[in-house]
A and B are shown apart, each in its own frame.
Chain A
């Protein structure tokens, strides 16, 4: 129940923030809409009538995947930094729930809100263009949430580094671009790349969108295990670095 109250608080915080910075929220939605429209019309103009529906679907799925991955990857590091700059970080550490649960709740709220926006803008784009896609959204979102948990784990590692070193924008940039390349690597059946975070889950999502590929149950369990291992690893590293930050009195400093 306590965790539900925390998640509710984070969801409300997200809503208040979007409402308060209304102009930015509208701009973000417009940008999302324009990207979707660009994908629809861009593909049409390049491929003409010969373009297959599948490649447009896969581009849209690729976009959703990339946005969610970036959010998951950068969330905790960015949040630690902005809380530190705002002068509210130490107050989060005065919660008996623990700062890691707060940042986890924030990451989940962030990803869920963005998926809601993406869905709304996707449907608006489909309505505008009159071209309706055949993406299995429940499957897509389920898999996105499951596989991005591994990136939330990586984000916690970055969040830990941010506690000590504060600015880590450059590291975020390297990892974000690195991830795009890594997502093209083969992962099924098990290859060394399958053990990297997120890659296996991303491949499942992409292949399902492109060719309707399905996988045996053990592979979905593998993706889930991959996410859980990275999440636990990330949280553990975050706790270790947090201890160091306490020793150095770096918590409230920026």
Chain B
């Protein structure tokens, strides 16, 4: 039996003559954090909302925990929490604790049943000291953390987070990131995230799905994406500026550029590092520093988009 918590098959959604999502299929495994990346209007939110049953799609099938969203939506969402992009998600005139009580209540759960969980969430998200203040007094980060707590109050096994760090500063994004990765590890949650925050996705997600114009253009683990788009750039700082002869010798190994005593060389594969070291050794040049540079997710994302556009 498949370990998939979410199975999206051939999802198609159109609005009049615009195709928002075009025949996409993917799965999210239990205990996994899957990130969906894509430019604005690429279909990320439509996909999210289709999984939540907030949007009726034209064709395809979505199974969550083995149940069909079109047939058993209420049973499915009982075990799902979500934060939606561009919405407040919670009541700003209430306190975080009141919001938690309300959102538990409208799910049919008495607050006394989730009181301990509410305290746990408030404590872990750093909201406990402000739990009885009005949310509207909070910073954007605190508001988002309050919304996050509400999405987790019923202890769902699946979380859908649409742009959870939008407009947040680095510190808050990091807090949320650390908390999410810890929760996944501890509580075996399955999380689907869309975000423009590449650092956040890179440090949180196991697999990345890149969508453009409603179509999946890449669906890989972060490692394989990095491997595929790896930039084998070596930056070598020498003790003194290299001679023309040395640069000519290095140029026969890889593409070389030089800035003072720093030489950057782009190699086709990592094994070419050995002849490079030999050249420097023979010339009697001493190394001060040696670094390899990797593409970060943002560069990979842009490269994937560029590659598929060509």
Contacts of A203 in B (CB 8 A): none
Q: How far is the CA of A3 from the CA of B105 in the complex (A)?
A: 9
Q: Does B56 lie at the interface of the complex (its beta carbon under 8 Å from any beta carbon of A)?
A: yes
CB within 8 Å of A: which B132-165 residues: 134, 150
Contacts of A90 in B (CB 8 A): 49, 54, 84, 87
1/0 contact trace for B56-75 toward A, CB 8 Å?
10000000000000000011
Residues of chain B touching chain A, judged by Cβ–Cβ distance below 8 Å, are: 15, 46, 49, 52-56, 74-75, 77-78, 80-82, 84, 86-94, 98, 101-110, 134, 150
Could you list 13 A-B pairs, sorted by A, with CB under 8 Å? A3-B108, A6-B106, A9-B102, A16-B94, A16-B98, A20-B93, A21-B93, A87-B86, A91-B89, A97-B107, A97-B108, A246-B54, A251-B55
Find out whether the CB atom of A96 lies under 8 angstroms from the CB atom of B77.
yes
Find out whether the CB atom of A20 lies under 8 angstroms from the CB atom of B94.
yes
Q: How far is the CA of A120 from the CA of B54 in the complex (A)?
A: 42
Smallest distance from the beta carbon of A93 to chain B beta carbons, Å? 6
Q: Does A46 lie at the interface of the complex (its beta carbon under 8 Å from any beta carbon of B)?
A: no
Q: Which of B80, B88, B105 contacts A6 (CB 8 A)?
A: B105
Find out whether the CB atom of A96 lies under 8 angstroms from the CB atom of B88.
no
Query: What 5 A-B pairs come out closest when comparing CB atoms?
Result: A9-B105, A2-B108, A87-B87, A87-B88, A96-B78
Find out whether the CB atom of B93 lies under 8 angstroms from the CB atom of A102.
no
A85's nearest neighbour on chain B, judged by CB, is B88
Q: How far is the CA of A8 from the CA of B109 in the complex (A)?
A: 10
Smallest distance from the beta carbon of B111 to chain A beta carbons, Å? 8
1/0 contact trace for A194-208 toward B, CB 8 Å?
000000000000000
Contacts A9-B104, A9-B106; A252 near B87 (Cβ below 8 A): yes
Find out whether the CB atom of A94 lies under 8 angstroms from the CB atom of B77.
yes
Contacts of B89 in A (CB 8 A): 87-88, 91
Find out whether the CB atom of B110 lies under 8 angstroms from the CB atom of A8.
yes
Find out whether the CB atom of A249 lies under 8 angstroms from the CB atom of B105.
no
Smallest distance from the beta carbon of B72 to chain A beta carbons, Å? 10
Find out whether the CB atom of A246 lies under 8 angstroms from the CB atom of B55.
yes
Main SS class of interface, B: loop
Find out whether the CB atom of A93 lies under 8 angstroms from the CB atom of B54.
yes
Contacts of B102 in A (CB 8 A): 9, 12-13
Find out whether the CB atom of B56 lies under 8 angstroms from the CB atom of A8.
no
Smallest distance from the beta carbon of A245 to chain B beta carbons, Å? 9
Main SS class of interface, A: helix
Chain A, interface size category, equals 20 to 34
Contacts of A16 in B (CB 8 A): 93-94, 98
Find out whether the CB atom of B54 lies under 8 angstroms from the CB atom of A9.
no
Contacts of B94 in A (CB 8 A): 13, 16, 20
Q: Which of B77, B92, B93 contacts A95 (CB 8 A)?
A: B77
Contacts of A243 in B (CB 8 A): 56
Find out whether the CB atom of A5 lies under 8 angstroms from the CB atom of B109.
yes
Contacts of B134 in A (CB 8 A): 20
Find out whether the CB atom of A249 lies under 8 angstroms from the CB atom of B88.
no
Q: Does A98 lie at the interface of the complex (its beta carbon under 8 Å from any beta carbon of B)?
A: yes
Contacts of A9 in B (CB 8 A): 101-102, 104-106
Contacts of B52 in A (CB 8 A): 94
Contacts A86-B91, A88-B89; A249 near B107 (Cβ below 8 A): no
New A-B pairs, 18, CB < 8 Å, besides A16-B93, A86-B91, A96-B107:
A2-B109, A3-B108, A17-B93, A20-B93, A20-B134, A87-B86, A87-B88, A87-B89, A88-B87, A90-B54, A90-B87, A91-B84, A91-B89, A93-B54, A97-B107, A97-B108, A243-B56, A252-B87
Q: How far is the CA of A96 from the CA of B107 in the complex (A)?
A: 6
1/0 contact trace for A230-242 toward B, CB 8 Å?
0000000000000
Smallest distance from the beta carbon of A57 to chain B beta carbons, Å? 39
Contacts of A93 in B (CB 8 A): 54
